[in-house]
Amino acid sequence: MPIPYLLKRIHIWRYKYISPKNFVFILSVIVGLLAGLAAVILKNITYAIQALLEKGIVFSKNQLYFILPIVGLFLVFLFKQYFFKKAMKPATPAFIKRAIPSLLYSLLRQKGLLSYKLIYHPLIMAPLTVGFGGSVGLLGPAITSGSAISSNLSRLLHIDRKTRTLLIACATSGAMASMFKSPIAAIVFAVEVFSLNLTFTSLLPLLIASISSVLTSYFFLGDEVLFNFDLTDKFTINDTLFYIALGVGTGIASLYFTKIYFAIYTFFDQFKSRLVKMVVGGIIIGVMLYFIPPLYGEGLSFIKDLFDGNHLHALGSTFFDDYLDNIWVVIVLLIGFTLFKAVAMTTTFAAGGVGGVIVPTMVMGSALGNVVAKVINNIGMGYQVSESNFTLVGMAGLIAGVIHAPLTAIFLIAEITDGYELFIPLMITVAISYMITKNYMEHTIYTRELAERGDLLTHDKDKNVLTLMKLDHVIEQNFVELNPNMTLGVMLHKGVAKSSRNLFPVVDEQKRLVGIILLDNIRDIMFDQSLYTTTTVETFMHYPPDYIVYEKDNMQTVMKKFQDSGAWNLPVIKNGCYYGFVSKSKLLTAYRRELINSTT
């Protein structure tokens, strides 16, 4: 039986016997399972590469691990150049450099339609990057693969745009739940990142997808949590000020993380060749690894060592081994690791590597939290705090600051460590870190590039509707154009008599708009024949209250111009020339239609 015919029969059966709501629930189960499976495959391939390398170069006497990242980046370059050279349609603009921003852009401007190649592309590129020591994580690629699965399944089953967006959010939730075995944090992450309204309609499919995905992870990977964290010191009220200090520290570190991220990308943007970027980036990463070995790979083992109180093993072999009995040398080395982890991660990305941001952020936060605890314990003022607790809470503080997702940070760290008894210090540190970074930096590394171009969805429903609207859909061009030298008689004959509009644009020979005429402006004299040959259009025209610049103004700007000017029609200027008009009535009609279509 031909596949198209079979799909047609399935569609007919589905429309007859399954309600749209139940069909979404069924799809959320399928999407969760497939996204979870993609995350499991991604992890297993990566760990297999790491295990293979550990038996050879990494633990050999020559300690040549610092050359591995450039080998991995070169393999990624070869795959991109010769196997994935053709652009994946619909392609995202060049300014979008990471998985999550690319996904957000696709949901806004490409109706959530992702290339099927994105299903397997991350499953190859990310393991080569991370498995060979690239200092990035695996969550971003897992989300990309799961979202591509969801998008193409939706396209195959003729799912509308609104439901497709929800299912891609389900895939994101599923990928995170499977990757970290954190179903609650996964749901919160999808809501915070995709700006979904927290209603039963959206919450239940996310919950179903998260559960099915995490069950997939348990089936293939067992029931162990990511970190074995034992709470030995409970939170006391006396520790409050110290967790406030940690919140301030993680907030400042988050600002540093974001600024260094964009600074490094700016540096690499001067190299036009991918090969040059790969070579330069590989060399930089290799040098950093030579002096700071813990920067190798994701860094999860680094966090585990800090939880166990084994900072010497976490730092590895360095040039300062003879001085590690001095705790202040250890603190300085951990600070150096914290600073350079952000550099290593962004350099890996900028050099062409494929990976995620969340895990490097966690690693950096763990080091910072451990530093704060060590400083408190060794400043000689008699204070003692739990280093493992501060290590854990520092992870949450940095996640909240870097990606502006405070609830995700709290639940993620609590779930992956079973550290629910530390909810109060988690909330204290996360809230302060988030407030600091949000106050000084409105957008994150996920959203800044999109926000600068007016392509960002937020929790502001009004702003979202305007962002989804397209200027081209509200421009009207059925206006009769007039010349400023045209006489009143000619204007009445060629303009007013042949137009159904009461507004006329006045343009010169170069199609530049020089003014407008309203029918009300000439109503009193339009039947005075003595003026037909003695007056011209220029006599009656006036300047419009404002202009809409096609290349620059987004729909939010357009709406504000209508509000400020009080006009009912505004001219559109494209490439310096008259292009048409936007009317307030058509704008509000389009707004209402988009509001109905986008309500989840």
| pLDDT tens digits along 529-569 | 777 777 887 888 888 888 888 888 888 888 888 888 888 88
| pLDDT tens digits along 279-321 | 999 899 988 888 888 888 888 888 888 888 888 878 877 777 7
pLDDT of residue 290: 84
Q: Which residues partner with 518 through β-bridges?
A: 503
| pLDDT tens digits along 505-529 | 888 888 888 888 888 777 777 777 7
| Token representation of residue 534 | 């003695």
Do the beta carbons of residue 436 and residue 251 sit within 8 Å? yes
pLDDT of residue 568: 85
* Beta strand 577-583 pairing with 475-476: antiparallel
Determine which of 373-377, 519-523, 576-580 has the lowest per-residue pLDDT on average: 519-523
Task: Please state, rounded to an integer, the average pLDDT across all residues of the chain.
Answer: 82
pLDDT at residue 251 greater than cutoff 80: yes
Determine which of 32-36, 83-87, 132-136, 222-226 has the lowest per-residue pLDDT on average: 83-87
Determine which of 23-32, 183-192, 354-363, 552-561 has the lowest per-residue pLDDT on average: 552-561
Q: Is the dihedral of CA 512, 518, 519, 525 positive or negative?
A: negative
Q: How far apart are CA 584 and CA 576, in angstroms?
A: 22
* Beta strand 513-518 pairing with 503-507: antiparallel
**Average pLDDT of span 570-576:** 89
What whole-number percentage of the chain has pLDDT above 90? 22
pLDDT of residue 452: 66
Task: State the DSSP code for 536.
Answer: B
pLDDT at residue 599 greater than cutoff 60: no
**Where would I find the beta strands (DSSP E) of 503-595?**
503-507, 513-518, 548-549, 569-574, 577-583
| pLDDT tens digits along 437-450 | 999 887 778 777 76
Confidence of residue 60 (pLDDT cuts 50, 70, 90): very low
Residue 459 vs residue 379, higher pLDDT: 379
| pLDDT tens digits along 147-191 | 899 988 888 887 877 788 888 889 999 999 998 888 898 998 888
pLDDT at residue 250 greater than cutoff 80: yes
pTM above 0.75, yes or no: yes
Do the beta carbons of residue 153 and residue 27 sit within 8 Å? yes
**Average pLDDT of span 471-489:** 83
Q: How far apart are CA 225 and CA 392, in angstroms?
A: 14
Confidence of residue 4 (pLDDT cuts 50, 70, 90): low
Domains and CATH numbers, the chain: 3-221 (1.10.3080.10), 237-460 (1.10.3080.10), 463-598 (3.10.580.10)
pLDDT at residue 324 greater than cutoff 90: no
> Between the CA of residue 101 and those of 12, 198, 366, 403, 451, what are the distances in Å?
36, 21, 25, 12, 10
| pLDDT tens digits along 79-134 | 887 776 654 444 555 545 566 777 777 766 677 778 788 888 889 999 999 988 88
Task: State the DSSP code for 55.
Answer: I
Confidence of residue 492 (pLDDT cuts 50, 70, 90): confident
**Average pLDDT of span 452-481:** 71
**Average pLDDT of span 493-499:** 76
Confidence of residue 32 (pLDDT cuts 50, 70, 90): very high
| Token representation of residue 273 | 């060749």
**Average pLDDT of span 568-591:** 86
pLDDT at residue 264 greater than cutoff 90: yes
**Average pLDDT of span 323-327:** 79
pLDDT at residue 65 greater than cutoff 60: yes
pLDDT at residue 249 greater than cutoff 50: yes
Residue 237 vs residue 197, higher pLDDT: 237
Taking alpha carbons only, the member of 467, 439, 437 closest to residue 455 is: 467
- Percent of the chain that is helix, strand, coil (3-state, to 5): 65, 5, 30
Confidence of residue 485 (pLDDT cuts 50, 70, 90): confident
pLDDT of residue 293: 85
